[in-house]
Chain A
Amino acid sequence: MPPHGPMKAPAKPKNAKGTFKRLIGMLSEHRMKLLLVALCIMVTSGVSAFGVYLLQPVYTMIGDLAAEYNATGVMPALTGLMRLLLAMALMYAASIACSYLLNRTMMMLSTSVLNRVRKQMFHHMEDLPIRYFDQRTHGEIMSRYTNDTDTLREFFSSTFPQAFSSLLSILFTLFFMIRLNGWLTLLVILLMPLMMMITKNIGARSGKNFVAQQKAVGALNGFIEETIEGQRVVQVFCHEEKAMEEFGKRNEDVRVAGTRAHTFASLLGPIMNNLSHCNYVLVTLVGVIMIITSRNNPDSVFSLSIATLLAFLPMIRQFSQPISNVAQQFNTIMLALAGAERIFDLMDEPVEEDEGYVTLVNAVKDEQGRIAESESRTGMWAWKHPHQDGTVTYTELKGDVVFEDVTFGYVPEKTVLYNISLYAKPGQKIAFVGSTGAGKTTITNLINRFYDIQGGKIRYDGINIEKIKKDDLRRSLAMVLQDTHLFTGTVRENIRYGKLDATDEEIERAARIANADFFIRHLPQGYDTMITGDGANLSQGQRQLLAIARAAVADPPVLILDEATSSIDTRTEALIEMGMDSLMNGRTVFVIAHRLSTVRNSQAIMVLEHGHIIERGDHESLIAQQGKYYQLYTGMFELS
């Protein structure tokens, strides 16, 4: 197998603008909802700024009324004040309704976008070629469904609307501040560059330190996974002390990096908070001076009333809060963009190509032996081959496989199979033997086109497999692979995987063929026993038996068994073989096995070495030849 590529560390987006556009494009079908959201945000941020602004007339009115009472001694009518407050209340009510509407719409919108992202990603992933999975670790692909999708959720449900709202708040507040008092506003704005600079500086440091922390955490988690995975080996080798020491080093790295990252991240809060206090103090001082001068000189351009100052002061908070928010939101947006970029990368990965046009159809044979297509399931299959001149020919599916001079390498520069030629007649059992890495598994991966060959031809029932639709080609083959993988579900469902419309009877028959029936019946719930975590509750041998049953129920003309019986003891294997013999009857079978007893009764045995077939023939002739096969088979006798 080709080696895995290195893990990619979370990084800044490479093309922030393009990714952002594409992300927003995902929202385009929800245009009306977005419009609603935008309107709601405008109302809420407008009202919150206007609410603070309204304090000025309220305070002025209260001040005037107090003065009137003071002067006349008669309690003045409060209807004016009441009307003003009622208007404020109504405005707030509208804003609250909008904020609820906004949150709810955004929630529905973000969940449906996420739902679509997940589905699109999965659909696309299922169609990617095997090569894609070879080159990446599972964790790397998995993190697109977990971490990256999470940051995206954060982006859609909160960051995106909040950033918009912050920007609007800044504008609205600025507008009302200017209306209250231009000079004080100027003072606040003059302090802005300082705040921006601090925010940017700390933000950058915090970002850098978080990347460092992520790296340290990645190293630690890698070590944890590896060590816990190999915990038994650690114990057998008394390596506990060493492991703890190594762990301690990485753990300390995480602590140091984490302390830095968290310090910077939480510094911004108190700094911005108190800077706005300072701002507040400065405005107060200047304001007081203005009040005093305006008392002495009411016509001065700097005139200011106490009520205006009182209304202005909360504006400062209203103004500085969204500014520091925007800085933090910017970081989150960058993270989301980096995540989105990785998700889009997966979605843009080219899918498995399929130029095949020959399909597999149900067929019937008339008296003259001519094959015709049939609507219903007939038990007989044929390749439907449309030709360029418009004619269609049908070829019966038999399982005749021919390799002509096949050359292949996982990467073009490194050939692993050289000039492989072989002929498998329907019903024949062909075996591949040879040491690890000789190319046995690779050959079988070419028959079902997990990989495409670089030279030569493979024909299936006389048709070049490149012309056959991949799905139909694979449907005509069943594989039992070296590593057995099962799915969450019952035993029955797992066997049914081979043929989705199999009846319970067919499933049990397949299980009997694979000799799995006996142990399945001894499971707590028999065929309805749940299999969890890739079959962790079954032994390796039992899992292999299920995989064989799964292939048996598929009932295809060609079987590929890759080390299918390596973890089953010889006696059980002998039992399976008896069942397999009836299963293999009339089928073409490709077998790969280390254990030569498994391959002995094959019609043809290919001995592979370094990608070449060095010997071929049946068991007797190969033994008689006294070559490599003989050595492998009798290796022990020679040396003893």
Chain B
Amino acid sequence: MQFFRLLKYAGKYKKYLILCPIVMIGEVVMEMLLPTITANLIDKVIPESAASGNITRVLLYGGLMLLMALVSMGFGMAGSRLSALGGMGFSRNLRQAIFEKVQKYSFKNIDKFSTASLVTRLTTDVNQTQNVVMMLVRMAVRSPLMMVMAIIMAFRMNSSLMPILLVTVPILLLAIVVIMSKAFPRFQIMMKKYDALNASVQENLIAIRVVKAFVRASHEKEKFEASADDVTATQRAAERVVIWNGPIMQILMNGSIIALLWLGGGQIIGGSMQLGALSSFIQYVLQILMSLMMLSFLFVSFVLARASVTRICEVLDEEPEIESPENAETEVEDGSIVFENVGFSYSGDASNLVLEDASFAIRSGETIGVIGGTGSAKTTLVSLIPRLYDVTCGKILVGGKDVRDYDIHALRNQVAMVLQKNVLFSGSIKDNLRWGNENATDEEIVAACQASAAHEFVQSFPGGYDMDLGQGGVNVSGGQKQRLCIARALLKKPKIIIFDDATSAVDTATDARIREALRKHMPETTKIIIAQRITSVMDADRIMVLNDGRIMDFGTHDELMQRSTIYKEVFTSQQKGVA
């Protein structure tokens, strides 16, 4: 079972997980012996002592019982500590394993899981699993042992009263099975409705401006009311079943007490049993029923956690698509790029290519512009260069060698990419920029920011380069964020740098300043610029025109103006009116 597979992640915390049930045994044994000793005390020792007036044996018994209580407390406390150590250690290791696995994922793997689902797996699902593990180590041995011991002790005390269990236990089991099997699907429906409710709140938070702009608050309220009523109705349907649990348990426990008082009472009157024994026997029977109940809880939480366990296993089982080969190349010679009949499909299906038959060569140090409509595969094409995805057919050479022959990190350190959907992280601006180069000096950082036209506004911030960005870089505007992202990439001093629509929120003049700075400071570096604005690419050495996954043309601005209708069309639509 998947669950037990996950248990191996306990690692060095395994010893706690094993020790905990053992310690629990100690607690159970003490707890189970207590009623027998009490019965003995009451039935034998007390009458004898009362008769003789000598209470030394009573004191002895009392001392023994106190000692047992203390020992049991010690075991119980140790059990608490061990289960906490083991459970939290287990979840720590499991979380670490999932996180490290995700770090090994390629873009394709990440595409498969959504960001939100990966976060849920790392948080909620791990917690669920951890709770079950902690419950398991405390209960899995304790409850059955308690049950078995209670049965043995009760049997030794009075075997003729045992048949009462033959009535109560099957009824309890049947009730548990019926209730669980009815409630479980109802809870699942409820959870779905609950998710939908939360999703609608989330949606309203994200799109509050749209709701307000279109005056749709009452519309949204109606939708929410329906959703909230759904949750309430399904919740009631599920809980209506579950609340039978209590009464059934009470009927069985109280019924057992009365039956035992009647039957046991008769035996006492007949002289074959004593009062103390009956009182202890009742306690044993109640304990048997309780531990059965506990076991059913354990079973239920096990089943409930199954979904979480499956989701975690999915992440752990996912094979990273892209890994460094053995004896990998670690040096990237220069910034030259060659595409040879490259085809690519996100699904790996060669008959349905997003990018088809791409062949071209770029010299080291060239500046290349890439333009094309939405869905023309611009981003796809450049993503293949730092091997964010593997080609479906054909091959790509960087610095004269196949990208698949390089050590992944060595390749990506030399091929910097400024992504379209870029992010900054919490921490200071300086911390963020150092992502590009951990050991960058302050001078290097300032130089990179000057080149990306970021230095000016960074200096205007309170704290300058030490200003905290907040989670997700919320404290800077879109255009400022893009410029910081560029600076971060520049600090890598790569042999190839790719800008994927990286200046869309930057105004034209600043955009031009950045390109000029690149030309001046990074003459050796191959620069690939994807842009919507034609002004961003027209001064490039060569411009690639993409359409619908094919390279339509590749040449200088002047050449393209002569022969490419697409290029000319875009140019005139954007540039008309300029003198």
Contacts and interface: CB of A to CB of B under 8 A. Distances in A.
A640 B258 contact: no
A104 interface: yes
A215 interface: no
Interface stretch (A109-117, A319-327, A405-413): A109-117
A274 B106 CA distance: 55
Nearest to A234: B103
Given A262-B88, A292-B53, A229 B423 contact: yes
A126 B193 CA distance: 21
Contact of B103 (A244, A435, A566): A244
A231 B386 CA distance: 15
Contact of A595 (B89, B374, B409, B574): B574
25 contacts: A62-B268, A76-B269, A82-B262, A95-B250, A99-B250, A103-B246, A119-B221, A133-B208, A233-B435, A236-B412, A244-B96, A258-B88, A270-B80, A285-B59, A479-B213, A481-B210, A485-B210, A487-B207, A534-B207, A539-B375, A569-B374, A569-B376, A600-B577, A632-B508, A635-B535
Contact of B49 (A100, A280, A292, A600): A292
B239 interface: yes
B122 A570 contact: no
B509 A65 contact: no
B402 interface: no
Contacts of A475: 215
B201 A291 contact: no
B534 interface: yes
Interface residues of B, number: 173
Contacts of B85: 259, 263
B72 interface: yes
Interface in B29-84: 34, 38, 41-42, 45-47, 49-51, 53, 55, 58-59, 62, 65-66, 68-70, 72-73, 75-77, 79-81, 83-84
A227 B442 CA distance: 25
Interface string A430-471: 000011110000000000101000000000000000000001
A117 to B, nearest CB: 9
Nearest to B235: A111
Q: Name the prevailing secondary structure of the A interface residues.
A: helix
B243 A104 contact: yes
A103 B244 CA distance: 9
A112 B254 contact: no
Contacts of B110: 231-232
A76 B271 CA distance: 13
Given A108-B236, A263-B84, A571-B373, A85 B261 contact: yes
A107 B423 contact: no
A450 B213 CA distance: 8
A534 B570 CA distance: 31
B199 A292 contact: no
A145 B227 CA distance: 13
Given A85-B262, A274-B73, A597 B279 contact: no
B576 A600 contact: yes
A263 B83 CA distance: 8
Given A288-B49, A633-B508, A435 B479 contact: yes
A230 B284 CA distance: 58
Contacts of B570: 570-571
Interface stretch (A23-31, A184-192, A218-226, A375-383): A218-226
A450 B209 contact: yes
A126 B211 CA distance: 8
B400 to A, nearest CB: 22
Given A229-B472, A262-B84, A488-B200, A436 B479 contact: yes
Interface string A91-129: 010011101100110011001101100110011011100
B240 interface: yes
Contacts of B479: 435-437
A619 B59 contact: no
B456 to A, nearest CB: 11
Contact of A228 (B118, B250, B254): B118
Contacts of B448: none
A497 B80 contact: no
Interface string B359-386: 0000000000000111110000000001
Given A122-B221, A225-B119, A247-B99, A96 B251 contact: yes
A79 to B, nearest CB: 12
A431 B70 CA distance: 82
B353 interface: no
Contacts of B441: none
B215 A224 contact: no
A82 B261 CA distance: 10
Interface stretch (A166-174, A249-257, A329-337, A416-424): A249-257
The 10 closest A-B pairs by CB, nearest first: A270-B76, A436-B479, A485-B207, A635-B509, A274-B73, A262-B84, A277-B69, A266-B80, A230-B423, A569-B373
Given A479-B213, A597-B573, A145 B115 contact: no
A542 to B, nearest CB: 8
Interface in B210-263: 210-217, 219-221, 224-225, 228-229, 231-232, 235-236, 239-240, 243-244, 246-247, 250-251, 254-255, 257-258, 261-262
B170 interface: no
A89 B504 CA distance: 80
Contact of A292 (B50, B80, B123): B50
Interface string B400-425: 00000000110011001101011101
